[in-house]
Amino acid sequence: MTSPTLKAPAGAGPRSLRRAKPRYGERVIQGLLLVAALVSVATTVGIVVSLIPPTVDFFERVSVAEFLGGTEWTALFSTPEYGVLPLLGATMLITVIALAVAVPVGLGAAIYLSEYADRRVRAALKPALEVLAGVPTVVYGFFALSFVTPRLREWWPGGGTGPDFQNALSAGLVMGVMIIPTIASLSEDAMAAVPDSLRDGAYALGSGKRIVSVRVVVPAALSGIVAACVLGISRAIGETMIVAIASGLTATLTVNPLEAMQTMTGFIAQAGQGDVPVQSFEYKTIFAVGALLFVITFVMNVISIRLVRKYREVYE
């Protein structure tokens, strides 16, 4: 069989390979996209830069050891003490309470949605769960103060007076509820990404659903689950409104969750409300606490990124 021969159209000379007209549109689009990408980076840099000078000023008067080791925080009092431990301790305690709620419930919800729920149930439940993430935190704060705390006081079984009017327990519990959707949704995504071939392999060895979920799917999705939890921790550490409303504004160094205490974010919110004159020393304390908070959440995010990278492509 002979193939038809291809001939160049008669009369047309060789076409130039040079661009007929410059394509400005491409460049404009590219530039706009670059700007969009740079906005968040620039903001981060801006925050760091604006944090540095007041923080440096602060540490010229208060030593790092005094700041990180001191047990009294009375920055806005007439005889100020600048030991950040009460604020740091309150942040940690409330975060731990929140995680104690959010990790088991979030992970349980994720396992249910990914492994047990049939398609229709999942289609209804997952968006409902994500709506919980859209509730403003100030609403959660008042929910903690005006609903959870009274119930805790009412039902308190032990002796003594029970929880204070403002307390870390109530704030922590409600904060836990707030971060359930973060942990559940991201963990569910990670589990849904586990290939069915692994589940088939496990079922074919005579495993039941519970074993397949716990021994195969969860370990295979572990990096995503850990990243979800770290993100939950970051949100808990950075959360402000719930703790400002429900946990109080008294910096106390205690591990008793029934007492009122002030977190780092709680202090910033209090001090930032306008009573503190700009450029006063009290004003600089806000930045010192803010810098510490930034360092903590930054480290958490780095850990999260590392974990995700380390275990990515694990099924390949």
Partner 1 sequence: MTDDAIPAQNTDDAHALPLAVGDRRRGRPEPSLNDPVFHISDLDVWYGDHQAVRDVTMLIGRRQITAMIGPSGCGKSTVIRCFNRMNDLIPGARVTGKVAYHGENLYDADVDPIEVRQRIGMVFQKPNPFPKSIYDNIAYGPRVNGMKGNMDDLVEEALTGAALWDEVKDKLKHSALALSGGQQQRLCIARAIAVRPEVILMDEPCSALDPIATARIEDLMAELAADFTIVIVTHNMQQAARISDYTAFFTADVDDKGVRHGRLVEYDTTVKIFENPADQRTEDYITGRFG
CA–CA dist 195, 161 (Å, integer):
53
Does residue 204 bind partner 1 (CB under 8 A)? Answer: yes
Does residue 150 bind partner 1 (CB under 8 A)? Answer: no
Does residue 220 bind partner 1 (CB under 8 A)? Answer: yes
Does residue 208 bind partner 1 (CB under 8 A)? Answer: yes
Does residue 215 bind partner 1 (CB under 8 A)? Answer: yes
Single out the residue of 74, 103, 71, 77 nearest to residue 89, CA to CA: 71
Q: For residues 82-141, which are near partner 1 according to CB under 8 A?
A: 118-119
Does residue 197 bind partner 1 (CB under 8 A)? Answer: yes
CA–CA dist 163, 178 (Å, integer):
21
* Residue (90 or 212) nearer to partner 1, CB: 212
- Measured from the CB of residue 196, what is the shortest distance to partner 1 in angstroms? 8
Residue 205's identity, in one-letter code, is L
Token representation of residue 267: 């202090």
Which region among 141-149, 165-173, 192-200, 254-262 touches partner 1 (by CB under 8 A)?
192-200
CA–CA dist 246, 139 (Å, integer):
11
Q: For residues 59-78, which are near partner 1 according to CB under 8 A?
A: none
Single out the residue of 210, 223, 211 nearest to residue 112, CA to CA: 210
Which region among 72-80, 209-217, 253-261, 264-272 touches partner 1 (by CB under 8 A)?
209-217
In whole angstroms, how large is the CA radius of gyration of the chain?
27
Does residue 200 bind partner 1 (CB under 8 A)? Answer: yes
Which region among 157-165, 174-182, 211-219, 263-271 touches partner 1 (by CB under 8 A)?
211-219
Q: For residues 257-316, which are near partner 1 according to CB under 8 A?
A: 314-316
- Measured from the CB of residue 316, what is the shortest distance to partner 1 in angstroms? 7
From residue 165, alpha-carbon distances to 146, 162, 169, 259 in Å are 10, 9, 11, 8
C-alpha of 65 from chain center = 29
Does residue 207 bind partner 1 (CB under 8 A)? Answer: yes
Residue 262's identity, in one-letter code, is Q
Does residue 15 bind partner 1 (CB under 8 A)? Answer: no
* Residue (61 or 215) nearer to partner 1, CB: 215
Size of the site for partner 1 (CB under 8 A): 23
Does residue 7 bind partner 1 (CB under 8 A)? Answer: no
H helix runs in the chain, sequence order: 24-61, 64-69, 85-111, 119-132, 137-143, 149-155, 168-192, 196-204, 209-211, 218-220, 222-238, 241-246, 264-271, 281-311
- Measured from the CB of residue 225, what is the shortest distance to partner 1 in angstroms? 14
Binding-site member from 198, 231, 253, 303 for partner 1 (CB under 8 A)? 198
- Measured from the CB of residue 223, what is the shortest distance to partner 1 in angstroms? 10
Q: What's phi and psi for 183, nearest 5 deg? A: -70, -45
CA–CA dist 243, 93 (Å, integer):
12
- Measured from the CB of residue 1, what is the shortest distance to partner 1 in angstroms? 16
- Measured from the CB of residue 210, what is the shortest distance to partner 1 in angstroms? 10
Does residue 231 bind partner 1 (CB under 8 A)? Answer: no
Binding-site member from 92, 96, 117, 211 for partner 1 (CB under 8 A)? 211
CA–CA dist 191, 225 (Å, integer):
8
**What SS3 class is residue 85?**
helix
- Number of Cβ within 10 Å of residue 31's Cβ equals 10
Locate tokens 């000023």: which residue? Answer: 57
Q: In the complex, which residues of this chain contact partner 1 (CB under 8 A)?
A: 118-119, 195, 197-208, 211, 215-216, 219-220, 314-316
